[in-house]
């Protein structure tokens, strides 16, 4: 029989990826973490981690153990709450994968309130233009542009959001006026790099702006935004990025508008893990309660 206290060390190393960081969270020496992991692997007769220059990654056996160990952790916290009548202080790391614009411009700007309520939960925000796998534990939570149609995932809609055609006031002052959609043929544009877009939901530009003369492309939304601000051309911009930006002007708002939705995804094995649940509630509240920010109304 294994020593289930070793699961604490396993969980922390799986979350931190490095012995020193896991040891700091557990208030022990890094050699203690290494020794307890080795003992657990010997007792279970499996290898739980692969070591690389980037740290410790879970093996297939480690990935199978992870949700079971987290269930034990969750029930231990619940026991403390119900028997001792005290709230267990939530802690640990939660990795959230999110589209770049949403992560950098909305979530990162509102995370301080969550930190005040849950000081021992560390959020790792991964902003990507590719989909990350929750089943492979590349992330604990993902915010995506569509609902998944397969996998052991729990999903719910967070909110709708809108993009508008925008240009800098400096650009518009030095280029032909725009009074109707046909006038856009005389203008330059900023957009994505087509062959590097992995999410089909991001392929909205060509359907919205026909035959656009694109002069700058980037996979990075912030780079596109800064190029538009610099006056290189026009582009579709999230409303939550333009709300307080006086240097930008919305163009043809009644004629040109792109609406999309954000969905929250969590693996069913993690749905009731306390720290993951706390982050899910934070993200749901933040995005579902701010329609004016997300839709620009």
Please report the pLDDT score of residue 193 as a whole number: 84
Whose structure tokens read 């190393």?
A: 13
CA distance to 90, 221, 234, 256, 258, per residue, from 179 (Å): 55, 27, 14, 12, 19
Nearest to 295 by CA among 265, 255, 262: 262
Residue 101 pLDDT > 80? yes
Average pLDDT over residues 264-268: 91
Residue 295 pLDDT > 70? yes
Please report the pLDDT score of residue 139 as a whole number: 87
Residue 20 pLDDT > 70? yes
Say if 6-84 and 161-258 have the same CATH topology. no
For 173-219, how does the pLDDT look when each residue is reduced to its tens digit (9 = 90+)? 999 999 998 999 999 999 888 765 555 555 667 667 878 899 999 98
Average pLDDT over residues 66-83: 76
For 222-260, how does the pLDDT look when each residue is reduced to its tens digit (9 = 90+)? 999 999 999 999 999 999 998 888 999 999 998 988 899
Integer Cα distance of 139 and 131 in angstroms: 10
Residue 108 pLDDT > 90? yes
For the chain, the domains span 6-84, 92-159+261-295, 161-258
Average pLDDT over residues 159-173: 95
Q: What is the CATH architecture assignment of 6-84? A: Orthogonal Bundle (1.10)
Task: Kindly report the average pLDDT of the chain as a whole number.
Answer: 87
Contacts of 53 (CB under 8 A, 6+ apart): none
Across 67-71, 88-92, 169-173, 254-258, least confident range: 88-92
Please report the pLDDT score of residue 84 as a whole number: 60
Q: What is the CATH architecture assignment of 92-159+261-295? A: 3-Layer(aba) Sandwich (3.40)
Please report the pLDDT score of residue 243 as a whole number: 81
Average pLDDT over residues 157-168: 94
Integer Cα distance of 111 and 133 in angstroms: 24
Contact in structure between 273 and 73 (CB atoms under 8 Å): yes
Please report the pLDDT score of residue 202 as a whole number: 59
For 138-151, how does the pLDDT look when each residue is reduced to its tens digit (9 = 90+)? 889 999 988 887 77
Average pLDDT over residues 109-137: 84
Integer Cα distance of 214 and 221 in angstroms: 15
Indicate the pLDDT class of residue 98, thresholds 50, 70 and 90: very high
Please report the pLDDT score of residue 157 as a whole number: 95
Please report the pLDDT score of residue 201 as a whole number: 55
Integer Cα distance of 168 and 246 in angstroms: 9
Structure tokens at 155: 């999903």
Please report the pLDDT score of residue 73 as a whole number: 79
Q: Which residue has the higher pLDDT, 297 or 38?
A: 38
Q: Which residue has the higher pLDDT, 90 or 240?
A: 240
Integer Cα distance of 94 and 109 in angstroms: 17
Contact in structure between 266 and 143 (CB atoms under 8 Å): no
Classify domain 161-258 by CATH number: 3.40.190.10
Q: Tell me the residue length of the chain.
A: 297
% of the chain surpassing 90 pLDDT = 55
Q: Which residues of 26-46 are buried (b: 16+ CB within 10 A; e: fewer)?
A: bebebeebbebbeebbeeeee
Taking each continuous run of H as one helix and of E as one strand, the counts in the chain are 12, 11
Please report the pLDDT score of residue 56 as a whole number: 93
pTM of the model: 0.73
For 43-65, how does the pLDDT look when each residue is reduced to its tens digit (9 = 90+)? 999 999 999 888 999 999 999 89
Q: Which residues of 202-232 are buried (b: 16+ CB within 10 A; e: fewer)?
A: bebbeeebeebebebbbbbbeebbebbbebb
């Amino acid at each position: 029989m294994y020593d289930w206290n070793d699961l604490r060390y396993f969980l922390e190393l799986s979350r931190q990826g490095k012995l020193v960081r896991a040891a700091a969270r557990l208030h022990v020496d890094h050699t203690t973490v290494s020794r307890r992991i080795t003992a657990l692997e010997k007792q279970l007769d499996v290898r739980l981690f692969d070591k690389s220059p980037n740290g410790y990654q879970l093996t297939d056996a480690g990935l199978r153990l992870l949700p079971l160990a987290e269930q034990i952790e969750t029930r231990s916290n619940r026991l403390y709450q119900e028997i001792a009548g005290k709230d267990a202080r939530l802690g640990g790391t939660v990795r959230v994968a999110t589209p770049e614009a949403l992560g950098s411009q909305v979530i990162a700007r509102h995370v301080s309130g969550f930190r005040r309520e849950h000081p021992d939960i560390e959020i790792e925000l991964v902003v990507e233009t590719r989909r990350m796998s929750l089943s492979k534990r590349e992330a604990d939570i993902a915010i995506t542009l569509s609902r998944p149609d397969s996998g052991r995932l729990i999903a719910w809609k967070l909110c709708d959001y809108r993009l508008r055609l925008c240009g800098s006031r400096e650009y518009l002052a030095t280029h032909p006026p725009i009074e109707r959609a046909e006038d856009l043929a005389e203008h330059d544009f900023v957009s994505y790099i087509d062959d590097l877009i992995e999410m089909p939901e991001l392929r909205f530009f060509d359907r919205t702006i026909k035959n656009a003369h694109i002069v700058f492309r980037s996979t990075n939304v912030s780079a596109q935004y800064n190029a538009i601000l610099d006056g290189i051309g026009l582009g579709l911009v999230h409303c939550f990025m333009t709300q307080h930006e006086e240097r930008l002007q919305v163009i043809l708002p009644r004629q040109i508008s792109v609406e999309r939705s954000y969905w929250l995804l969590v693996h069913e094995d993690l749905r009731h893990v306390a720290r993951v649940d706390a982050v899910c509630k934070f993200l749901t509240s933040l995005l579902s309660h701010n329609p004016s920010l997300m839709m620009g109304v």
